[in-house]
């Protein structure tokens, strides 16, 4: 059974989407929330979330960012009356983007795609590192970046920071095939975890900021654009 949440501060829209989801061919349990705060406070994990963007209080983009801190797998489908939030939606790895008013078939199409993607998703991919605290098998998607600091490589992850000996350049070569890129001589970042790029500041999903050197700017921007295009 699918676990689905619908979050919208318009009662009519909320009830409408709930009816559409309940009419889907795959059995589902549906929870409804009138605000981003309510969804976050529930502490529940879902397979799919239909999420409004322009809500009172915490908007849908910020709600999704907070959800992503603990849940990288949930499929977030935005349902909104505005079409100028698309770029922000992709920054939180949104699965879909629907404009109001929505029809039942649109909701069902998104649900079918979400179910199909879930069934075909590759298992967690890990890479082994020999760190100062022992051998660690780290989920690639949970790594934010590598930083060369005090003659050691620091690995910034969801679970914390790990340190190991080595060359940051060799680390960049090792991780390139997993979607990592070197924007600065001291950093290697996970393109999957990039939230935004403004000027020469790369903001990661955890809020940390990584510098982009002028020398590597063109190459990094091209690789990031190519990576994002493959995610759409």
- Token pair of 105, please? 């078939």
pLDDT for the residue numbered 88: 64
pLDDT for the residue numbered 94: 87
- Cα 25 to Cα 105: distance, rounded to the nearest angstrom: 12
CB atoms within 10 A of CB 35: 17
The pLDDT tens digits of the residues spanning 141-156 come to 899 999 999 999 999 9
Which residues have a Cβ under 8 Å from the Cβ of 226 and sit 6 or more positions away?
none
Regions of the chain with pLDDT less than 50: 232
Three-class DSSP category at 120: helix
Which CATH superfamily does the domain covering 2-120 fall into?
Response regulator (3.40.50.2300)
Fold of 126-231: OB fold (Dihydrolipoamide Acetyltransferase, E2P) (2.40.50)
pLDDT for the residue numbered 179: 95
pLDDT for the residue numbered 152: 97
The pLDDT tens digits of the residues spanning 146-190 come to 999 999 999 999 889 999 999 999 999 999 999 999 999 999 999
pLDDT for the residue numbered 187: 98
Three-class DSSP category at 153: strand
- Cα 82 to Cα 76: distance, rounded to the nearest angstrom: 16
Tell me if 37 sits within 8 A of 57, measured CB to CB: yes
Looking at the chain, which residues constitute the CATH 3.40.50.2300 domain(s)? 2-120
Question: Which residue intervals of 32-125 are DSSP H helices?
Answer: 36-42, 60-68, 86-91, 104-120
pLDDT for the residue numbered 160: 92
Tell me if 44 sits within 8 A of 31, measured CB to CB: yes
Tell me if 108 sits within 8 A of 98, measured CB to CB: no
- Cα 105 to Cα 53: distance, rounded to the nearest angstrom: 21
């Amino acid at each position: 059974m699918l676990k689905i949440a619908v979050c919208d501060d318009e009662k009519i829209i909320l009830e409408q989407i709930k009816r559409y989801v309940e009419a889907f061919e795959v059995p589902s349990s549906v929870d409804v929330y009138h605000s981003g705060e309510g969804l976050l406070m529930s502490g529940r994990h879902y397979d799919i979330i239909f999420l409004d963007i322009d809500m009172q209080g915490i908007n849908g983009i910020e709600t999704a960012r907070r959800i992503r801190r603990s849940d990288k797998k949930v499929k977030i489908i935005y349902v909104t009356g505005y079409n100028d939030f698309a770029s922000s939606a992709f920054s939180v790895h949104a699965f879909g983007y629907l404009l109001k008013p929505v029809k039942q078939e649109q909701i069902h199409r998104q649900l079918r795609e979400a179910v199909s993607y879930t069934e075909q998703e590759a298992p967690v991919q890990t890479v082994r590192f020999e760190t100062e605290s022992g051998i660690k098998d780290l989920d690639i998607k949970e790594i934010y970046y590598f930083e060369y600091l005090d003659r050691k490589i620091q690995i910034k992850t969801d679970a914390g920071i790990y340190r190991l000996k080595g060359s940051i350049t060799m680390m960049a070569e090792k991780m390139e095939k997993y979607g990592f890129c070197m924007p600065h001589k001291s950093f290697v970042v996970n393109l999957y975890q990039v939230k935004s790029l403004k000027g020469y500041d790369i903001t990661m999903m955890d809020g940390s900021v990584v510098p982009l050197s002028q020398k590597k700017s063109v190459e990094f921007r091209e690789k990031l654009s190519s990576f994002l295009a493959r995610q759409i």
